C-alpha cells in the first residue's frame, strides 16, 4: 500500500534528522515507504557537545569525517536513504555584537543558486511529501534558516519546467511540512506528567524561557502516531555520539511515559496541492488516494 510513497526530509546538519521527525521516518520506512534524508552541510563547525568526548584532539581534528560516520550509522538505524548537498556549515555565531559568518558558508550562499541541488534531488527522488524547518529555522541557527529558504524555493520550482531546466524532469511535490516537534503543548504535557509521577522533569527551564518569549505558538496541524518507533529514534540520536550526551536531557523522560502521554510527532502543514482535512494523523493524507 505504501510502496509508491516517498518522503524527503531536508535538514541542516547531521544529527538534525535524528532529533526532528526520526520516529515518523522510522514509521513510514516500516510501512514500506521510501524515505530520503537530505543533509545540507557536513556539520564541520559544530562543537563536540558530548562531555565524554570533549577534548579529544583526534575528534576535533577530524570532526567532518567523524560526523559523516555518525550519519552513516544513524541512517542505517532509521532505514532511510541519505544525500549530502555539500555546503559548508556556517557555525552558530555568538557574542555581542555577533561576529560575521565565515566566508563561503551555507548561510551566505545565494538562495536561488543554493536551491538548485535540492531541486535536482527532488526531481530525481520524486517525493510526494517534504519536511523542513519554518522561517525561524525551528531555532535561529543560520543554517536552519537557510535550509528553510532553499526548501521553499525548491518546492515551488521543482515542478516548473521553466526553472532550473538542466536539473532534471520536473516533479511537483504534493505537500510541504515544517517540523514542530519542540512545541509547547507537548512539553507542558510531559512536564506535568513527570511531576505527577514524582519524577524530575528536564523541561522546567524550557517552560520558563517560553514564558519570557512573546512569539506566538506555531499551529500544529498534523500529529503522526509513532510511539512504537521512539526507541529507534533514540538509537539514531545516540549514533551521533559527538553531539548527544547519553546521560543528557534527551533521555530523561521514560519511553513508557512518552508513549502514554504524547505518542506522536507534530508538524505544521505549510503548502499543499492536494485536498486534506485538518488536523491530520498522516503526512500522506490526501496523497494516498491520488495513487
Structure-derived torsion over alpha carbons of residues 146, 33, 232, 43, reported in degrees to the nearest 10: -20
* Mean pLDDT computed over every residue of the chain: 94
The mean per-residue pLDDT over the stretch 271-286 comes to 97
- The response to whether 144 counts as a known ligand-binding position is yes
The arrangement of strands across the sheet holding 175-179 comes to 81-87, 34-41, 6-11, 129-132, 175-179, 264-272, 222-225
Q: What pTM does this model have?
A: 0.96
Taking only the tens place, the pLDDT of each residue in 23-71 is 999 999 999 999 999 999 999 998 888 898 988 888 888 999 999 999 9
List of residues 6+ apart from 17 with CB closer than 8 A: 9, 11, 25, 37, 39, 74, 78, 80, 82, 236
The mean per-residue pLDDT over the stretch 127-142 comes to 94
- The response to whether 13 counts as a known ligand-binding position is yes
Whether the pLDDT of residue 20 is over 50: the answer is: yes
Lowest-pLDDT range of 21-25, 53-57, 140-144, 157-161: 53-57
Closest CA to 88 of 112, 69, 114: 114
Contact 226, 26 (CB under 8 A): yes
Taking only the tens place, the pLDDT of each residue in 162-176 is 999 999 999 999 999
pLDDT at 2: 55
97: cis peptide before it, omega within 30°?
Answer: yes
Place 291 in a pLDDT band, splitting at 50, 70 and 90: low
- The response to whether 240 counts as a known ligand-binding position is no
Place 138 in a pLDDT band, splitting at 50, 70 and 90: confident
| Domain architecture of the chain: domains with CATH | 6-182+219-290 (3.40.50.10320), 184-217 (no CATH)
Taking only the tens place, the pLDDT of each residue in 209-266 is 888 876 788 999 999 999 999 999 999 999 999 999 998 888 999 999 999 999 999 9
Whether the pLDDT of residue 1 is over 50: the answer is: no
Amino acid at each position: 500500500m505504501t510502496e509508491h510513497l516517498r518522503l524527503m526530509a531536508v535538514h541542516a546538519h547531521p544529527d538534525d534528522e535524528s532529533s526532528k521527525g526520526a520516529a515518523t521516518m522510522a514509521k513510514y520506512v516500516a510501512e514500506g515507504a521510501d524515505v530520503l534524508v537530505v543533509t545540507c552541510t557536513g556539520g564541520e563547525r559544530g562543537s563536540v557537545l558530548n562531555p565524554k568526548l570533549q577534548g579529544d584532539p583526534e575528534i576535533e581534528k577530524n570532526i567532518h569525517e567523524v560526523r559523516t560516520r555518525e550519519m552513516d550509522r544513524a541512517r542505517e538505524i532509521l532505514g532511510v536513504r541519505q544525500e549530502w548537498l555539500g555546503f559548508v556549515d556556517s557555525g552558530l555565531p555568538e557574542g555581542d555584537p555577533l561576529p560575521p559568518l565565515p566566508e563561503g558558508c551555507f548561510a551566505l550562499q545565494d538562495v536561488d543558486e543554493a536551491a538548485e541541488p535540492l531541486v535536482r534531488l527532488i526531481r530525481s527522488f520524486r517525493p510526494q511529501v517534504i519536511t523542513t524547518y519554518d522561517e525561524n529555522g525551528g531555532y535561529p541557527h543560520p543554517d536552519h534558516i537557510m535550509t528553510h529558504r532553499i526548501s521553499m524555493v525548491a518546492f515551488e520550482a521543482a515542478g516548473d519546467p521553466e526553472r532550473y531546466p538542466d536539473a532534471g524532469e520536473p516533479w511537483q511535490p504534493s505537500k510541504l511540512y515544517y517540523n514542530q516537534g519542540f512545541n509547547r503543548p507537548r512539553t507542558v504535557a510531559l512536564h506535568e506528567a513527570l511531576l505527577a509521577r514524582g519524577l524530575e522533569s528536564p523541561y522546567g527551564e524550557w517552560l520558563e524561557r517560553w514564558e519570557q518569549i512573546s512569539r506566538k505558538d506555531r499551529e500544529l496541524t498534523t500529529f503522526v502516531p509513532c510511539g512504537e518507533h521512539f526507541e529507534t529514534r533514540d538509537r539514531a540520536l545516540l549514533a551521533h555520539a559527538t553531539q548527544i550526551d547519553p546521560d543528557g536531557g534527551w533521555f530523561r523522560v521514560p519511553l513508557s511515559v512518552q508513549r502514554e502521554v504524547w505518542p506522536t510527532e507534530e508538524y505544521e502543514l505549510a503548502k499543499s496541492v492536494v485536498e486534506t482535512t485538518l488536523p491530520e494523523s498522516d503526512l500522506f493524507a490526501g496523497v494516498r488516494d491520488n495513487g
